[in-house]
Structure 1
Amino acid sequence: MKLTCLLADDEPVLRYHLQKQLEDLWPELDEIISAANGDEAWTLIQELRPQVVFLDIRMPGLNGLEVAAKMQQAGLTANCRVVFLTAYDQYALEAFEREAMDYLLKPVDEKRLLKCINRLQQQLQQTRPQLVDLQQLQQLLHPMDNNLSGTTLTTTATRSPLKWLNALKGEDIHVIDIDRVLVFQAEDKYTRIITTDGDYLIRTSLKQLEQQLNPDQFRRIHRSSLIQLSAIEKITRSLTGQWLVTLRGIQKPLQISRRFADQFKQH
């Protein structure tokens, strides 16, 4: 029987990284397909009936729990095993463990993924369907995420600020600690991450990043730039009245637009 796996995550860098890991660690997989959101994932699951599905908890459209619930209702979990991808902290992970549902913490650790693959291989030899109470699981997660149903992002008031990012540098994927980031800069379809040791690219927009970052740590200075406040060396005003900010580690000053200048002016 053909062994098909579906990866559903709205972050393309993570999908790419996980697909490469699966290709290396699970060569018996005949096909790995991907979905960029929950609605696309549900459509592909109905059409292709994969034996293994990796679902990100937070996705545009249907979230991961909602996709899994639809699979249960349609009887598709009898011949398919589901793994959730999550960035939750340890307290939330206990909810998954209580429900005996497998999960992977992002960024995905190779040793943990191999353990998950071994477990999946054993489960695929069984005919027992997964009958996890997904509604109860969502209730267990509710204190840590009040906005799981139908939205792609929550504000910093309802979730912990972003602490790391998967980003591209050439052909390689790197896990970037937020504390290392000096500037997020919008560039065409990408956002450039300028750090103390080099530049990286992600496809998350500045607007999305701003909703996930700690506002006491990062501040917008321009429609195309977010900076780390602790990296500010000095703020000056040019002869033409333009406000400029100099960051430690970056030689060229960055422009502060009029719209955001007031919050940086010294009174």
Structure 2
Amino acid sequence: MNINCIAVDDEPAALDMISSYIERTPYLQLAGRFNNALAALEEIHKNAALQLIFLDINMADLTGLELAKIIEQSDRKKNLRIIFTTAYDQYALEGYKVDALDYLVKPFNFVAFSKAAEKAKSYFTMYESSLKATNNETMPLQYKSAYIYLKVEHQLVKVDMSDILYIEGLKDYVKVYLSTTEKPLLTLTSLKRLQEKLPTDKFLRLHRSFIVSTSAIRSATKTSVQIGSTTITVSEQFREDFNRFLDKWVL
């Protein structure tokens, strides 16, 4: 697959380096290079085929973070992604809040660039697969994707849905508890966004802060479920869905 991308940096040397790295990567297609975010924004508006932006942060008029927030609030946030390239590491958390694929701190070499590019390739491969599954409305549920990708500590981690026990939301973060590891995976996303990726017949929202795998429930009362040694309370907001689930358990 080819990924159409642009480089945006107000430092000529950095822009030359990033552009050369893109041209050295077989699956990246350089669609343009810009020395300011306003020019890049104009390109975004007119180029619907654009998929990836290698984006500096500290720029005049419009910063890279401001451009990223514009994209995040648009209808292109899933098919147009960002890899930040900056000399300042203090913006890393802000970068993840706008769902950047990666965060490269200058000076970086071609090896580090290639690792970030591979994350983009994995993302767009997954994204195209999900589009095909969504468009094929007659596809039986058992043939749909059985895994999700989570962004954990600067990398994408493939997680089998059958391994998920329950998921806990913690403001800007989510903890995913698995049957295969003692320590949960911590990813910077919202519980609502993660819920959208989960099949509704296999996962159940029980609380503002909890989603559980229905297959992991070992016992249940009218107000709670037991998963391993963990008891999760059912809040009033989700009681109706939970009662429908309990009806299936009653013989």
Give the TM-score normalised by the residue count of structure 1. Answer: 0.43
